[in-house]
């Protein structure tokens, strides 16, 4: 009788073990896919932070932004040797790094507040770039109708430099 009871329990044991194994394989597969999908931007971030530390003299970093409308720019927020909060705007080429004091212009939050006044459905990104030779915040968002829009604000004074709507 005891042997019959143990035999009845074994199939449940194998079923449970099989289910756990399948779940483990799925989790590992998802982790691999996510890692491969984020690897390019992770590598770009590491390279931009390295360039910002070397060329922009940053001693620490706190945030990373990237934009790619006409040209790809990576922006690294951090502190310089004088412990001032700065932005280092790094073009994809890595040349001509622009370093700006964060206190010299609009903050990301101030720019986002301006965009939210337009009542968008969703803000997709907000990042620093160089636009017509000037530092600028570039924001992409979906309007109420779900159409893609871009707006570019001059960093120093918040003037709208470009607005592209309903793409």
| 81 part of a folded domain | no
Residue 2 has pLDDT above 70, yes or no: no
Percent of residues, the chain, with pLDDT higher than 70:
93
pLDDT mean over 81-91: 93
Confidence category of residue 64, pLDDT binned at 50, 70, 90: very high
pLDDT at 148 over 60: yes
What's the pLDDT band for 6 if we cut at 50, 70, 90?
Answer: low
CATH of the domain at 113: 3.10.450.40
What pLDDT score does 134 carry?
A: 93
Q: Percentages helix, strand, coil for the chain, rounded to the nearest 5?
A: 40, 35, 25
pLDDT > 90 in the chain, percent: 63
Write the DSSP assignment of 96-120 as a string of letters.
S-EEEEGGGS--HHHHHHHHHTT--
pLDDT of residue 11: 60
Q: Is residue 130 part of a domain?
A: yes
Nearest-angstrom CA–CA distance, 92 and 113:
28
pLDDT for the residue 27: 95
Average pLDDT (87-95) is 89
pLDDT digits (tens, 9 = 90+) for 22-62: 999 999 999 999 988 878 878 888 888 988 888 888 899 99
Q: Which one-letter DSSP state was computed for residue 70?
A: S
What's the predicted TM-score (pTM) here?
A: 0.76
Domain count, the chain: 1
Residue 145 domain boundaries: 108-164
DSSP 137-150: EEEEEE-TTS-EEE
Predicted confidence band of residue 1 (pLDDT cuts 50, 70, 90): very low
* Domain assignment of residue 49, yes or no: no
């Amino acid at each position: 009788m005891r042997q019959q009871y143990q035999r009845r329990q074994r199939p449940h044991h194998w079923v449970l073990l099989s289910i756990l194994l399948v779940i483990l394989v799925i989790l590992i597969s998802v982790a691999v896919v996510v890692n491969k999908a984020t690897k390019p931007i992770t590598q770009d971030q590491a390279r931009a932070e390295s360039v910002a530390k070397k060329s922009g003299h940053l001693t620490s970093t706190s945030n990373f932004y990237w934009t790619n409308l006409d040209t790809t720019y990576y922006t690294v927020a951090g502190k310089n040797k004088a412990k001032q909060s700065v932005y280092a705007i790094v073009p994809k080429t890595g040349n001509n790094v622009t370093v700006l004091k964060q206190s010299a212009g609009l903050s990301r939050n101030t720019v986002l507040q301006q965009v939210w006044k337009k009542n968008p459905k969703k803000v997709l990104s907000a990042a620093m770039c160089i636009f017509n030779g000037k530092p600028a915040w570039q924001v992409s968002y979906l309007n109420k109708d779900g159409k893609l829009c871009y707006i570019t604000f001059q960093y120093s004074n918040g003037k709208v430099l470009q607005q592209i709507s309903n793409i």
